[in-house]
Chain A
Amino acid sequence: KAGVTQTPRYLIKTRGQQVTLSCSPISGHRSVSWYQQTPGQGLQFLFEYFSETQRNKGNFPGRFSGRQFSNSRSEMNVSTLELGDSALYLCASNGGGSYNEQFFGPGTRLTVL
């Protein structure tokens, strides 16, 4: 099976802009979770989508949003970018069962200037 893929791999934006990141889960996986990874804060949970519905949400401001399509692909959007949004954004997919065995994508490295 192909693994989790994310596009783009690298992005450079300026403050105030918005950005959309994409994630394609492992075939057959219906759950996609997003994480922000920074040196200072580690891996922080953003949200999880399952069957096109947001199932769980972390403690991030409303500038961070997401959605999931009928083919389980997911997008994450960050509006009004701030310098502190510079991070590695990882998505992970799992089969949606009660044990969250997550498989991570390679991540998108976002730099905000």
Chain B
Amino acid sequence: GENVEQHPSTLSVQEGDSAVIKCTYSDSASNYFPWYKQELGKRPQLIIDIRSNVGEKKDQRIAVTLNKTAKHFSLHITETQPEDSAVYFCAASYKKLTFGTGTRLTIIP
């Protein structure tokens, strides 16, 4: 089955700096790669996604890149703000979603 690895598990960045979270997947059939943000005590919320026919997608301060050949994808958050503090999950999907283990991002004011 699909295996998704996510790094780092924790990340602290100064407010205003950029944060990068990286994921690798194993199943070359995976064609959809969403990113979820989960704040403490709340449900995971989709923040951005990318499909396998696209290499990069951007939405304001958030961008995702996909390298199908290397089977890895990354989340980039620029100009970080305190409200970006949360746990971020990557996922890969062919017929079902397989999640990474999560990255706890802390923004230091």
Main secondary structure of the interface of A (DSSP, over half): strand
Are B46 and A102 in contact, CB atoms less than 8 angstroms apart? yes
Q: How many residues of A contact B (CB 8 A)?
A: 22
Are A56 and B96 in contact, CB atoms less than 8 angstroms apart? yes
Q: Taking CB as reference atom, which chain B residue is nearest A90? A: B43
Q: How many residues of B contact A (CB 8 A)?
A: 22
Are B34 and A101 in contact, CB atoms less than 8 angstroms apart? yes
Chain B contacts for A102, CB-based, 8 A: 34, 46, 97
Are A43 and B95 in contact, CB atoms less than 8 angstroms apart? no
Are B32 and A33 in contact, CB atoms less than 8 angstroms apart? no
**Other A-B pairs, 6, CB within 8 Å; known A42-B100, A42-B101:** A33-B97, A48-B96, A98-B31, A99-B32, A102-B34, A104-B44
**B interface list, Cβ under 8 A from A:** 1, 31-32, 34, 36, 42-46, 49, 51, 89, 93, 95-102
